[in-house]
Structure 1
Amino acid sequence: MRYMMLMQVEPEAAARAAEDLDLEEVVATMGAYNEELQKAGVFLSAEGLTDASEGFRVDFSSTPPVVTDGPYAEAREVFTGFWMLEVADREEAELWARKCPLGPGVALEVRPIGELDEVDLPADNDWLVKAQEWRAANT
């Protein structure tokens, strides 16, 4: 099963906790964690995200959709990065999430990635077939 771990940061708490951290040590610790994921054969990808001020949000509550530049004043937490893992089950995803070297002000949201065979459509649906082809071409 594939799982995505989304890193959520409460900016003020994370900033306070990071005041005394050594950036080189943080990078080394995270690098060792990513290497452990790779050696275990569960690592699919991981990326850090830029600051919310560089992004935008699209709200589909109206037509046309409304685009708002970041940062988002109402957001108490922001996503700052993610990992995609291929693991046997929820328990293994939880094991890896618990090992992640994050600290105060940071949380992981871990969710399974939906599989195409779980979609309630006939297997020969044109768009379902294309989606399967796209995934196969990108793995």
Structure 2
Amino acid sequence: MRVMVMVKATEQSEAGVMPSEQLLADMGRFNEQLVKAGVMLAGEGLHPSAKGARVRFSGKDRSVVDGPFAETKELVAGFWLWQVRSLDEAIEWVKRCPNPHEGPSEIEIRPVFEADDFGEEFTPELREQEQRLRDQLERN
């Protein structure tokens, strides 16, 4: 199963406070363990929400809201995409992770939808299209 592992933002990360050299080194070692174990598929830190935007949908209308966004506890400061056998395995990996921020921190783990999760609505034609796109992404 694939899981998205999200490092929640803090007031400090939203203020643009960069991680210490020690934290960068600790995270580098942790990421090495993930790669060597065949768990890590991707992972990146994110700039503060002040540098981002949101696009809101209302029917056919679209509106853009520039950051920063007020609810820090709802924001993501970084992410990993992991391939694991179970949610429990992902939890065990996160428990080994260095604390991503000075002080209290939170990391959220969410399973990624797989084709079979969509049932009959995900027709053979849609599955074929999905596979073509995945193949194209791998070639790029």
TM-score by length of 2: 0.82
Residue 35 (1) aligns with residue 32 (2): yes
SS in 2 for 1:5: strand
SS in 1 for 2:89: helix
In 1: Cα distance, 2:53 partner to 2:136 partner:
29
Structure 2 unmatched runs, 5+: none
- Among residues 76, 83, 88, which one is paired with 1:91 in the alignment? 88
CA contact (8 A) 2:3 2:112 kept: yes
C-alpha RMSD of matched pairs (Å): 2.3
Structure 1 unmatched runs, 5+: none
Q: Percent identity?
A: 33
In 2: Cα distance, 1:117 partner to 1:132 partner:
13
User: In the superposition, relative to structure 1, how do residues 61 and 26 fare at CA in structure 2: closer, same or farther (>3 Å)?
Assistant: same
Q: 1:62 deviation in Å?
A: 5.2
Alignment of 1:113-124 (within 5 A): 113-121=112-120, 124=123
TM-score by length of 1: 0.83
Q: Which one has the bigger helix percentage?
A: 2
In 2: Cα distance, 1:101 partner to 1:60 partner:
37
Once the two structures are superposed, residues 95-131 of structure 1 have per-residue CA deviations (whole angstroms, 9 ceiling, x without a partner) of: 1111111243321110011001221236654333211
In 2: Cα distance, 1:62 partner to 1:71 partner:
25
Q: 1:92 deviation in Å?
A: 0.5
Q: Which residue of 2 aligns with 1:10?
A: 10
Q: Which residue of 1 aligns with 2:106?
A: 107
